[in-house]
Amino acid sequence: MAYIDFISSTHKSTKRDYLARVNDHEYPKAKAATLAKQWGYDYWDGSRKVNYGGYRYDGRWLKVAKAMVDHYGLKPGDKVLYVGCGKGFLVHDFMQVMPGLEAWGIDISTYAIEHAMDEVQDRLQVANANNLPFPDSSFDLVVSITTLHNLYAYDLEKALREVERVSRRDKYICVESYRTEEEKANLLYWQVTCEAFNSPEEWDWWFGLTGYTGDHSFIYFE
């Protein structure tokens, strides 16, 4: 298991006003979180004060897909699963950077799957990370980016074991974390769906507990 950072440059490209987020009068934090956890319109395409503020394809995931294809030596015919795929942008980009690669995705959001990219909608399905609808050892790479921290402990353990189960080779997980009290406060202010507030050491404990053998990285709210 290695620490490999594919995500932080994309994460850091977004400017965040943490105090404005938590003190907003129209969408106070509790209201924003309640709306976001419905995983519907408000989470994806509603106000930026709730979450994405309109989640549209802009090509930003192409460099992430290419980095993963290169690092893991993916080739035509290999199979990739994206756990927490949203509208399928990274699934699309995997197949763009490596023609012949077979990429699939699952997400808990019916809204996201229904509003996914037309090019990959038939490769996506509604499912929970704690019960992946695939046989053992189905994929050459299983990816989950900023998803598993949204699970309660009892589902997080199942999901980590499921990622391990359906992979026959490589795995990569990216989750939110914090190293300092300032980063913890910023995470609490900004997040609307996180349930697993873990330091890197705690995440390492989770990986060991569940037998997760893949790679990982963290994003921090600095």
What is the rounded radius of gyration, in angstroms, for the C-alpha atoms of the chain? 17
Give CATH for domain 8-219: 3.40.50.150
Per-residue pLDDT tens over the stretch 79-97: 999 999 999 999 999 999 9
DSSP H or E run through 165: helix 153-166
* Reported pTM: 0.95
Rounded to whole angstroms, the Cα distance separating 5 from 169 reads 19
pLDDT at 20 over 90: no
Q: What mean pLDDT is predicted for residues 50-58?
A: 96
Q: Is the pLDDT of residue 13 over 80?
A: no
Tokens 């440059």 belong to residue: 9
What is the domain partition of the chain in residue ranges?
Answer: 8-219
Query: For residues 115 and 165, what is the distance between their CA atoms, to the nearest angstrom?
Result: 29
For 93-114, write each residue's pLDDT tens digit: 999 999 999 999 999 999 999 9
Contacts of 80 (CB under 8 A, 6+ apart): 74, 91, 94, 101, 102, 103, 104, 139, 140, 141, 142, 143
